[in-house]
Amino acid sequence: MNSQLDLLRGERPATVERPDPPIEDAGRGGDAGWERWRAWLLPAVPALLALAMGVWGAARLPLWRDEAITAEIARRSVPDILWCARHIDAVHAAYYLFMHGVIQVFGASEFALRIPSIAAFAAMAAGIAVLGRKIMSGPVGLIAGLICAGAPFASHYAHEARSYSLVAALTVWLTVLFVDLAERGSRRRYAAYGAGIALLGLVHLFALLILPAHLVTLLLTRRTRTMLRPWSAAAGGAVVAVSPLMALAVTQRNALDWLTRPGWLDVRFLVETFTGPPIVAYLLGAAIAVGLITARSRGPISPQALAVPWLLLPATVLLLVSQFHPFYTYRYVIGSLPAMALLAAAGLVRLPYRTWLAPLVVMAVLLQPLHVEQRRPEKWWDNLRGAAQIVERESRPGDAIVFITADRRSIAEAYPDEFHGLRDVTMRRTPAEAGNFGGEEYDPAEIGRRLTSAGTNRVWLLEGPWRMPSLVPQDRAKVDALQRNYRQASVWRVTGITLTLYQR
């Protein structure tokens, strides 16, 4: 029992055999240049696989609603992005500013908007390979990187023009730096760690839950407890740096009102999301169990002390806090996925020489249908491209359009060419002017008057897959005016969107 506790703390008991020499330690008298090349090649293999998985299908998938918001906000000027952050979505302001630069370079096509997420996916796979090699061995790093590159959960967010893939990549590389601090800390390295944590918080505040995970790792590891003071200074400085964003986010917390209190079904869904189908979950679970028992460290921090808090603590904190005020959704803990891969790799590497390839191949085959399924456009959250193409094909010059709810204007902002020429008759101020997603609409009475005398015989209504029974006054005025002055001519339905054409 004491031996197991020592292992968790990062201490190697006297009765435990020394680990086999890691792959990169063999042949120390060999060519140093080849060793350096091998150090680069190790993370390159999973990075290239992740890049291929990210590119696969990225251009075929339409934008969904959250991605449309990314396109809408990132197209604005920098002052307009900052103006919007004062009113809504401040937690994503740094990401929108970054994406503004991406659009200037690559354009705003669906694939271009996803380039940063695809690159971050590859960086995450490379980072966990480097981390596995640093704390255990080259084969462990390679296996962990391949597991991450083949994870459907990770590749799904490589296909989203949102910040979650970047969060995972930053979390991994900051953990690499954290392990470096345990081996050779310096003021410069601590400053880099603090700056990186601040950047991580700017990208997504909930990603800062990696800090308590790192703290638990330090407390479990005797030989790194001298790090507590400089680590606390670096981490504390990072938190202070992002505290203005935290304060602003508190005033905008109603943006998470759609979340509900999580239960055991959410925990089960999180496990399934991380692992995939049941057979893959059993394989990974068995590998993790072996890794927890047998993993040995080549440095001051044990794999168990590093990966277990990293895997469990962020989700546990969010789930517990969300019992009182819902903050949890599974994508907020994507940064913990590499920890699962690291523990599974530590178990798989115990198989006889290179036979660990067999379970990896089995898992790849079992996960293939899931990868194919999530790359089918009709299985995406919303088919905004399909809706935009219908409007482009069926609309006529001078047609009017109304949206229920107002924030669905982001579709027209994301696909401006397809909506070109349609008159938005209920909008008083544009979303950029109003500093939000949906703009500012006229009052209900004015909406009724404008639709009654719209100067057109055709009005498009774009709304969700179903209409809520209780509408805000502006939306109720739209429905009443359309039903009173027009007849329903045609209806089109695509995933997540209903389009109705009204004619006089």
Give the pLDDT confidence of 248-273 residue by residue, as tens digits: 999 998 888 888 899 999 999 999 99
What pLDDT does 256 receive? 84
Pairing of strands 458-463, 400-404: parallel
Residues 385-400 pLDDT 10s:
999 999 999 999 889 9
CA dist 285 to 272, 274, 492, Å? 11, 11, 45
Predicted confidence band at 31 (pLDDT cuts at 50, 70, 90)?
A: low
Instruction: Return the exposure string of 395-425: e unless at least 16 CB atoms fall within 10 Å of the residue's CB, then b.
Output: beeebbbbbbbbbbbbbbbbbeebbeebbbb
* Predicted pLDDT of residue 32: 58
Q: Say what the pLDDT of residue 35 is.
A: 66
pLDDT recorded at residue 377 = 80
* H or E element in which residue 236 lies: helix 228-251
Half-sphere exposure for 142 (CA within 13 Å, toward CB): 17
What confidence tier does 294 reach under pLDDT thresholds 50, 70, 90? very high
Q: State pLDDT tens for residues 49-93.
A: 999 999 999 999 999 999 999 999 999 999 999 999 999 999 999
pLDDT tens, position by position, 453-485: 878 889 999 999 888 777 899 999 999 999 999
pLDDT of residue 5: 39
Rounded mean pLDDT of 180-188?
88
Cβ–Cβ contacts within 10 Å for residue 332, how many? Answer: 21
Q: By mean pLDDT, which of 16-20, 255-259, 280-284, 392-396 is the weakest?
A: 16-20
Q: Is 60 exposed, middle or buried (0-12, 13-18, 19+ CB in 10 A)?
A: middle
Indicate whether 20 pLDDT > 70: no
The rounded distance, in Å, linking the Cα atoms of 137 and 2 is: 25
Work out the pLDDT band at 34, boundaries 50, 70, 90.
low
- Residue 185: its pLDDT value, please? 77
- In DSSP notation, 289-355 reads HHHHHH---SSSS-HHHHHHHHHHHHHHHHHHHTTTS----GGGGGGGHHHHHHHHHHHHTTSSTTT
Which residue would you say has higher pLDDT here, 306 or 378?
306
pLDDT surpassing 90 at residue 488: yes
Paired tokens of 89: 């979505």
Q: What is the mean pLDDT of residues 304-316?
A: 97
Residue 25: pLDDT band with limits 50, 70, 90: very low
Give the mean model confidence (pLDDT) for residues 338-365.
92
* Total Cβ atoms within 10 A of residue 457: 14
Asked whether the predicted pLDDT for residue 6 surpasses 60, the reply is: no
423-424, strands of its sheet edge to edge: 423-424, 400-404, 458-463, 497-503, 487-494
Indicate left, alpha or beta for 398 from its phi (over 0: left) and psi (-120 to 50: alpha): left
Q: Is 99 helix (H, G, I), strand (E, B) or coil?
A: helix
pLDDT computed for residue 13 by the predictor: 42
Q: For the residues 325-332, what does the mean pLDDT come to? A: 93
What global pTM score does this model have?
0.89
pLDDT of residue 306 exceeding 90: yes
- Partnered with residue 493 across adjacent β-strands are 498
Distance (Å, whole) CA 504 – CA 488: 9
Partners of 404 in beta bridges: 463
- Once rounded to an integer, what is the mean pLDDT over residues 224-247? 93
- pLDDT at residue 198 above 60? yes
pLDDT of residue 468: 76
The yes-or-no verdict on residue 324 having pLDDT over 50 is: yes
d(CA 19, CA 11): 13
Residue 351 has pLDDT above 60, yes or no: yes
pLDDT number for residue 357 = 86
Q: Taking 50 as the threshold, does the pLDDT of residue 208 lie above it?
A: yes
Residues 107-161 pLDDT 10s: 999 999 999 999 999 999 999 999 999 999 999 999 999 999 999 999 999 999 9
